[in-house]
Amino acid sequence: MSFARKVWKFLVAIKDGLVLLLLLLFFAALYAALSFRPTPASVKEGALLVTLDGVVVEEPQRVDPLALIVPMQAATREHRAADVIRAIEGAAGDDKIKAVALDLDYFLGAGQVTLSDIGRAMDKVRAADKPVLVHAIAYSADSAQLAAHASEVWMDPMGGALLAGPGGTYLFWGDAADKYGVNVHVYRAGRYKSAVEPYTRSSFSDDARQDIGGALDSLWDQWRGEVARARPAAKLDKLISDPAGAIADAGGDPAEAAVASGLVDKLGSRQDFGAQVATIAGADDEMPDDPSAFAHTSYETWLKARPAETSGKTIGVVTIAGTIVDGSAGPGTAGGDRIAEILDDALDDDLAALVVRVDSPGGSVTASEVIRQSILRHKEAGIPVVVSMGNIAASGGYWVSTPGDAIFAEPSTITGSIGVFATIPSFEGTLNRFSVRTDSLGTTPLSGQPDIFGGISEQMDAVLQAQITQSYDMFLDLVQASRKVDRAKTLTFAEGRTWTGGTARQVGLVDRLGGLDDALEYAAKEAGLDEGDWHARFLQEKPDAFAMFLQDLTAPQEESVRIGLAEVLVARRNAQLSSVVEDVEAMMARPSIQARCTTCPVPARLLSVEADTPRWLRAAQALFAN
């Protein structure tokens, strides 16, 4: 028995050793995969393949590894706009790249400014005598804006074009609040600050309708102008104004209607498209039996194989993207403490200049001020500060822009909305309807206030409105100092009005029209640097390599659902369902003073309902999908 026990222990030891060895080999392989960096040889002779499977955003959200391993629903992929643009622009001068192929079969959209920037990168490739080919099952306004810049636009014969301009249905809760006895207390400063109207009215006020409608019209004019310049032969009027009539004229075929309009050049399957790219870029030797394959390098691989220039002085770029909130939220949400920490850490980096990239509808006043103060610390260090506005830099997004020595915006940028508000619901009327009574004891006029059960007192109302007025006065002071104008002039473009980039420049809210590259060049000039003497570095947290590795593993495969007309409609429905949750959460959130534009045409970060959506909403989504 003693000998048998020794043999058994020996066998167990061998088993444990083998398990340990396998674990070591697994983690060694995982480390090798995570630490692998492609060399220039990784760029193949062929096409640059840009697969935009999801949305393109200014700053992707942090990837949650657990959500990727055990997802309740596939997360929408987010592509960093600067990465997509750099890869496409780089293809113009890369001798190994013969063409650029954009796969928009999974594309869910981006902001209008972002799309314009990508379009300009596509124009540079074509100017270098390299073709740019695009394929999609269906084209929305977003994907059509990109496609207009291509030399060949392909569509699946089963597809169509749905060119809906900006705008849609907004939810108003005022009548519902009255019906159920909810008293929504509103505190605001700024005549046009319409953020509170959904909670108190049944429709837009005339001021809000004029303000928001004007911004939407301007965005749509910008879209139509860009598409017309990029694709002058296209005749989109009927497809836009009478899509049913355009389809009827094409024999009831939506795809043929898109071809007749000049938006699409050729109809063909994914395999047909791949064969066409292969005639230009070459066949894919690794997949000779796949009719859709062609020699290519993905844009992600190209970025790793062609790292950005790092010679010369450093110009830092800090990104303020998403709603501005107190705390350390983000990336993708502009947590004030997180961004301030990034900026403060960069104070020791000997930056030649700082560019503040803003793509935010605003949010918390206190968080906006935390960020502004951290930007001011760089100004106090004697370096130039330049602001570059993306799709939107409104309300709190403008608050954080005020330290800029110069402010750049693009024609489709939404900015302004200089106003402040707060909302607090109370439920004394609701409780009374159910015969629930309240009684109060206190020692001061503000004891228990704000009281959501017994009601908000006149004293509390006065205190809160005074806080709003004081915050608005501070906002006006910041704008007045930034724009170097008096209070009367400031009020002509304040009061909560929203502006697009061109008119914002005319009224004095921004200094110049241009994108991020223009802002960087201006900052370099202000720092006394010549071309080639500097490089840009994005100031950000180091991404989680393990999470990025898992994201690559969970990328959409060929059998994934692509974005056809039905999927575009479903995505819009999901966005509307999500807006219900956002409205209710905003009204029920803890009281805070907000400099936020809630009715601005903000590009949706996610057009699908994500895994962290409340269960009742996912159930509603499933119900409506059937």
Mean pLDDT of the chain, nearest integer? 85
- Which of residues 358 and 582 earns the better pLDDT score? 358
Neighbouring residues of 317: CB distance < 8 A, sequence distance ≥ 6: 354, 355, 356, 357, 516, 520, 536, 537, 538, 539
Report the distance separating Cα 280 and Cα 278, nearest Å.
5
pLDDT at 612: 41
pLDDT at 608: 39
Average pLDDT of the residues in 196-210: 88
580 pLDDT tier (thresholds 50, 70, 90): low
Let me know if domain 40-166+217-305 sits in CATH 3.90.226.10. yes
pLDDT at 558: 42
Lowest mean pLDDT: which of 284-288, 355-359, 470-474?
A: 284-288
115 pLDDT tier (thresholds 50, 70, 90): very high
pLDDT at 36: 52
Token readout for 519 is: 């802002």
**Entry pTM:** 0.85
Provide the percentage of residues in the chain whose pLDDT is more than 70.
Answer: 81
Report the distance separating Cα 571 and Cα 161, nearest Å.
15
User: What is the DSSP annotation of 349-366?
Assistant: S--SEEEEEEEE-EEEHH
Average pLDDT of the residues in 372-377: 97
Report the distance separating Cα 278 and Cα 272, nearest Å.
10
Does 95 have pLDDT greater than 60?
yes
Q: Indicate which residue of 116, 140, 193, 426 is catalytic.
A: 193
pLDDT at 583: 56
Report the distance separating Cα 311 and Cα 238, nearest Å.
52
Token readout for 430 is: 């609701």
- Tell me 345's DSSP state: H
Three-state SS string across 59-80, please? CCCCCCHHHHHCCCCCCCCEEE
Does 90 have pLDDT greater than 90?
yes
Tell me the per-residue pLDDT of 555-572, one tens digit each, with 9 for 90 and over: 544 444 455 555 555 555
- Which of residues 65 and 128 earns the better pLDDT score? 128
What angle (nearest 5°) sits at the alpha carbon of residue 464, between those of residues 476 and 487?
Answer: 15
Tell me the per-residue pLDDT of 511-522, one tens digit each, with 9 for 90 and over: 999 999 999 999
Neighbouring residues of 374: CB distance < 8 A, sequence distance ≥ 6: 339, 340, 343, 344
Average pLDDT of the residues in 410-432: 92
- Which of residues 576 and 220 earns the better pLDDT score? 220
Residue at 571: amino acid letter: A
Average pLDDT of the residues in 152-165: 93
Q: 602 φ, ψ to 5°? A: -85, 130
Average pLDDT of the residues in 156-173: 88
Token readout for 212 is: 């928001």
Q: Tokens 């935390």 map to which residue?
A: 370
Handedness of CA 429, 431, 434, 437 (dihedral sign): negative
pLDDT at 576: 53
pLDDT at 190: 80
Handedness of CA 397, 398, 399, 402 (dihedral sign): positive
Delimit the domains of the chain by residue range: 40-166+217-305, 188-202+313-531+564-626
pLDDT at 619: 39
- Which of residues 185 and 130 earns the better pLDDT score? 130
First to last CA, the chain: 67
Does 616 have pLDDT greater than 50?
no
- Residue of 75, 350, 373, 416 whose CA lies nearest to 215: 416
Q: Indicate which residue of 140, 261, 395, 578 is catalytic.
A: 395
Average pLDDT of the residues in 93-117: 94
Catalytic residue status for 489: no
Neighbouring residues of 71: CB distance < 8 A, sequence distance ≥ 6: 554, 611
Q: Give CA 5 to chain center in angstroms.
A: 64
Q: Are 546 and 444 in contact (CB under 8 A)?
A: no
Average pLDDT of the residues in 579-595: 62
Report the distance separating Cα 474 and Cα 462, nearest Å.
18
- Which of residues 425 and 588 earns the better pLDDT score? 425
Neighbouring residues of 580: CB distance < 8 A, sequence distance ≥ 6: 171, 617
| 188-202+313-531+564-626 matches 40-166+217-305 in CATH topology | yes
Provide the percentage of residues in the chain whose pLDDT is more than 90.
Answer: 61
Q: Tokens 């990837």 map to which residue?
A: 63
Catalytic residue status for 457: no
Neighbouring residues of 551: CB distance < 8 A, sequence distance ≥ 6: 63, 68, 77
Lowest mean pLDDT: which of 88-97, 157-166, 547-556, 604-613?
A: 604-613
Rounded to 10 degrees, the C-alpha dihedral 62/140/497/415 comes to: 50
Work out the number of other CB atoms within 10 angstroms of the CB of residue 285: 10
Token readout for 363 is: 């949010």
pLDDT at 229: 96
Lowest mean pLDDT: which of 74-78, 192-196, 444-448?
A: 74-78
Selected from 3.40.50.150, 3.90.226.10, 2.30.40.10, 3.90.950.20, the CATH number assigned to the domain covering 188-202+313-531+564-626 reads: 3.90.226.10
Q: Are 76 and 54 in contact (CB under 8 A)?
A: yes
Q: 324 φ, ψ to 5°? A: -85, 120
Tell me the per-residue pLDDT of 235-283, one tens digit each, with 9 for 90 and over: 999 999 999 999 999 999 999 999 999 999 999 999 999 999 999 999 8
Neighbouring residues of 250: CB distance < 8 A, sequence distance ≥ 6: 256, 257, 259, 260
Work out the number of other CB atoms within 10 angstroms of the CB of residue 191: 16
Does 622 have pLDDT greater than 50?
no
Tell me the per-residue pLDDT of 522-562, one tens digit each, with 9 for 90 and over: 999 999 999 889 999 999 876 655 555 555 554 544 444 45
284 pLDDT tier (thresholds 50, 70, 90): confident
Work out the number of other CB atoms within 10 angstroms of the CB of residue 576: 12
Report the distance separating Cα 144 and Cα 117, nearest Å.
14
Neighbouring residues of 554: CB distance < 8 A, sequence distance ≥ 6: 68, 71, 74
By CB atoms closer than 10 A (0-12, 13-18, 19+), residue 429 is: middle
- Residue of 472, 357, 360 whose CA lies nearest to 415: 360
- Residue of 351, 356, 363, 361 whose CA lies nearest to 386: 356
Average pLDDT of the residues in 425-453: 90
pLDDT at 161: 93
pLDDT at 25: 75
2 pLDDT tier (thresholds 50, 70, 90): low
Average pLDDT of the residues in 89-101: 96
pLDDT at 70: 47
Element (H, E) at 385: strand 385-394
Q: 395 φ, ψ to 5°? A: 55, -115
Q: Using DSSP, state whether 319 is helix, strand or coil.
A: strand
